[in-house]
A and B are shown apart, each in its own frame.
Chain A
Amino acid sequence: MAFISIKNISKNFSGTQVLNNINLDLNLGKIHGLVGQNGAGKSTLAKIIGGTYRNQFEGELLIDNQKITKWDSNIALEQGIAMIHQELALVNQLSVIDNIFLGIENSAFNFFVQSSLSRYQELEDKIQFNLNPNSKVAELRIADQQKVEIMRALVRNAKVIIMDEPTSSLTNDEVLKLHKLMLDLKKENYLIIYVSHFLDNILEVCDDVTVLRDGNHIKTSSSKSETKNSLVEGMLGKSLDITFPKKNNSHYDEVILELNNVSAENGIRDISLKAKKGEVVGLLGLVGSGRTEILRTIFGIDKITAGSIEFEGKNINQLNQVETIKNGIAMIPEDRRKLGLVLKQNAKENITIANLESLSNGIVLNSNKEKDLVAELIKALDVTPNYIEGNINFYSGGNQQKVLFAKWMFVNPKLILLDEPTRGVDVGAKSKIYEIIRQFSEQGITVIIVSSELEEVMGLSDRAYLVQDGTIKDEIIPNSTTLDNVIYSLFDIGKKAS
């Protein structure tokens, strides 16, 4: 019998139906994929199983043939179901080991008598994550924080581990390691529920895969019988290849940004690069290679220690972010919920916040002008829902990202720095974002893009730099090389390091 049995489960959020009569049986010892566009309901379904939504759903959930009556994430954990959230839930100020054993520490009468180190070591021997147990979580990269979450689930003797988009911030070799871990766990009779946008990943490790579309269960089948195309077909209801918009063939000549031998406190060193007006420049590299740090340095978040940054012929070494924005540089960061959006404000307020001067007559804001402009942007970027005062907290990743793009289009910058612009974004929204990026280029806006999806950088950029170990190794023209070549050279470098 199935360990988890989902019977006629439906869920709506204040009137919007997000899941519709889902029926699904999940067995131990399997890896089960959940795929669908953003908004298809796959995260919602995962969260219902994981207890995030408590009892707030219709239908029945059976665990080990027992119908559950009371349900929340703690009860789920007691029943052996652990959820690893897309937005990681760790205590940043505590160490790795303290986070892992949080809530289940060794103690006698509430006081610590022995450290949890031996338990940690036991686990580490099994999975070999190579984390320093005493590092503070705040100091770890997202990929490592995720490992902490996985270890947390394992020490709680979970039988079921739900992973919601676990790979979106991992490098290729980290994904391979995660997959190997999943397969090992499967052998030990764990059930892994794997929610992901990355269909290749799903096909690689899952036994079965379930496709959701608009809250409906489209199909569940063995992943052997599926292909990337057949899954996308199910997700979209039609076949769609991800295509990149055509690059303009125009010749770029006016250099707008130039870095000369730049080193910075964040660890990048001796970076020299150029970006021309209207050009899309890619930074290709693995997580931790320094690609994000290059953007942060240009934007003035991290201080530079040597070299110079010239923007439009002017030295901008010592500018802070307010001044860089004034100079026409914008940045859309990786962690959009934390760093990009004000979740308590609505779509309109988020879009206009960086350029309120243009709406102000010096005393008050012109709210009609604001509404018109925002409505225009929302329409142009195809943001759904299309209310100008929509609550962005409930928007899908793709639509939140579009709101951020709208914000910066409103500022009308000369240079846009994009860090993982399509992380956690569904296929439909992705191609829209690609279009927007090319549109920027046509308007003469320079774009520098960083992404873990190498295809994306290759497909979008006119020119790209290979970044490794905090510095630039090479410069390539994506159109005159292949993805294989790039991966080869990135991993050739990787081999040397290990």
Chain B
Amino acid sequence: MKNINFSFFNFFREYAVLILIVFLMIVLTLSSDAFLTPRNLLNILNQNAPLAIIASALTLVIIVGGFDLSTASIFAVASVSAAWIAVNVNPYLGLFITPFIGILLGSLNGFILTFFKVHSFLSTIATSLVFRGMAILITGGFLIPVRMKEFVWLGREKILEVHVAVYILIAFAVISTIILNKSKIGRYIFAIGGNEEAAILSGIKVNLVKIFAFSFCGLAAGIAGAIQVSRISMGTSQAGLGMELEAIAAVILGGTSIYGGAGAVWRSIAGVMLLALINNGFNILNADPFYKDLTTGIIIIAAVALTSGKK
């Protein structure tokens, strides 16, 4: 009897985020006919693809024991660079250069925090300002509208009724999962987050692994930035403001340990979806949007309470 209770409790804790998603889906299905339609669900996925891509990669950073508060700024640099290059050089080049911009800025994060041995929380606050400043310089403070067909396809085009962005999200999540669970570097990410000392004593090049994790996170922010700028066909230095915290919230909400050493990519995507469902619920129920932040906050507290060690 005792054992059954115990394992039920463990199961609940382990999959709290999924249980909450199912719960919200049931509530929304019962309260609105517009909710449980392929169109609405795919829409949610599409709208949140940029955030989910960032959260997938951020999972690696948080498991390795770091934080990345600069993802939104990298996102902004990538999107304004894409827009600027699209207008001034070539729209395809603009889109395809964003992953490299992301990797470059992400690896810069990695180098700074390993070279100066500062906590990533601090170093990425600093670089987020630097990157945001770069985005402002690139735009010169103006908006960069890009209406070319060769540019907006990435964010708007559909293949078989599904947005391109959704395919990119799926591919990115699969790759992140494989790296994390089926590769050496993934194993090292867990090891460093779990016990950095032990990782060093095992001959793991800890700095290199950290630089990888931050570069990967930068890559994600770059790709996400390209999707977003292509979708709104407008480069703005203020793109993605506040997104870094949303991404962190989603990762933690999904159940990845904020202390590092444990977690999974699917959890972060589930975290994004949970936040998205709350948002969607407000829209389709026509609820007073003044209550949205309040409700989101309360649900985050509820999720944290469910997953914490406290019985």
Contacts and interface: CB of A to CB of B under 8 A. Distances in A.
Interface of A: 73-74, 77, 83, 85, 89-94, 98-99, 102-105, 107, 110-112, 152, 265, 305
Contact of B195 (A73, A91, A107, A265): A91
Nearest to A50: B201
Nearest to A111: B183
A443 B25 CA distance: 65
Contacts of B201: 73, 83, 85, 89
A103 B194 contact: no
Contact of B184 (A91, A110, A152, A305): A110
Contacts of B197: 89
A73 B183 CA distance: 24
B202 interface: yes
B191 interface: yes
Interface string B131-165: 00000000000000000000000000000000000
Contacts of B204: 102-103
B182 A112 contact: yes
B198 A89 contact: yes
A93 B256 CA distance: 13
Contacts of A110: 183-185
10 contacts: A73-B200, A90-B195, A90-B198, A91-B261, A103-B203, A104-B203, A110-B183, A110-B185, A112-B182, A265-B2
B153 to A, nearest CB: 32
A279 to B, nearest CB: 34
Contact of A112 (B183, B193, B194): B183
Closest 4 CB pairs of A and B: A103-B202, A91-B194, A89-B198, A93-B194
B39 interface: no
A92 B194 contact: yes
Main secondary structure of the interface of A (DSSP, over half): loop
Contacts of A89: 195, 197-198, 201
Contact of B203 (A74, A93, A99, A305): A74
A443 to B, nearest CB: 38
A180 to B, nearest CB: 26
A94 B262 CA distance: 9
Nearest to B197: A89
Nearest to A83: B201
Given A73-B201, A74-B203, A103-B202, A93 B187 contact: no
Contacts of A105: 184, 187
Nearest to B202: A103
A98 B187 contact: yes
B112 interface: no
B183 A91 contact: no
Contacts of B193: 93
A267 to B, nearest CB: 12
Interface string B243-259: 00000000000000000
A102 B202 contact: yes
Contacts of A112: 182-184
Nearest to A72: B200
B187 A77 contact: no
Nearest to A75: B203
Contact of B199 (A77, A102, A265, A305): A102
Interface in B115-133: none
A305 B1 CA distance: 13
Given A74-B203, A93-B190, A107 B183 contact: yes
Interface size class of B (residues with CB under 8 A): 20 to 34
Contacts of A99: 198
Nearest to B178: A111
Interface in B8-28: none
Given A110-B184, A112-B184, A91 B203 contact: no
Interface of B: 2, 178, 182-185, 187-188, 190-191, 193-195, 197-204, 261-262
Nearest to A92: B194
Nearest to A85: B201
Contact of B262 (A74, A77, A93): A93
Contacts of A83: 201
A103 B198 CA distance: 10
A94 B190 contact: yes
B203 to A, nearest CB: 4
Contacts of B185: 110
Nearest to B185: A110
A349 B191 CA distance: 33
B305 to A, nearest CB: 19
Contacts of B199: 91, 102-103
A102 B197 CA distance: 13
A178 B185 CA distance: 33
A377 to B, nearest CB: 32
A94 B194 contact: yes
Given A90-B195, A104-B203, A107-B183, 16 more contacts: A73-B201, A90-B198, A92-B261, A93-B193, A93-B194, A93-B262, A94-B187, A94-B194, A102-B187, A102-B191, A103-B202, A105-B187, A111-B182, A111-B183, A112-B183, A265-B2
A27 B184 CA distance: 36
A83 B203 CA distance: 13
B41 to A, nearest CB: 33
A91 B190 contact: yes
A265 B193 CA distance: 30
Contacts of A74: 200, 203
Among A85, A104, A111, the most chain B Cβ lie within 10 Å of the Cβ of: A111
A86 to B, nearest CB: 13
Nearest to A107: B184
Among A83, A85, A90, A104, the most chain B Cβ lie within 10 Å of the Cβ of: A90
B290 to A, nearest CB: 41
Contacts of B198: 89-91, 99, 102
Nearest to A106: B184
Nearest to A89: B198
A92 B231 CA distance: 44
Nearest to A78: B203
B184 A94 contact: no
B182 A93 contact: no
Nearest to A77: B203
A397 B17 CA distance: 44
A107 B185 CA distance: 11
A265 B311 CA distance: 14
Contacts of A107: 183-184
A85 B195 CA distance: 14
A270 B194 CA distance: 37
Contacts of B194: 91-94
Contacts of B2: 265, 305
B8 to A, nearest CB: 15
Contacts of A103: 188, 199, 202-204
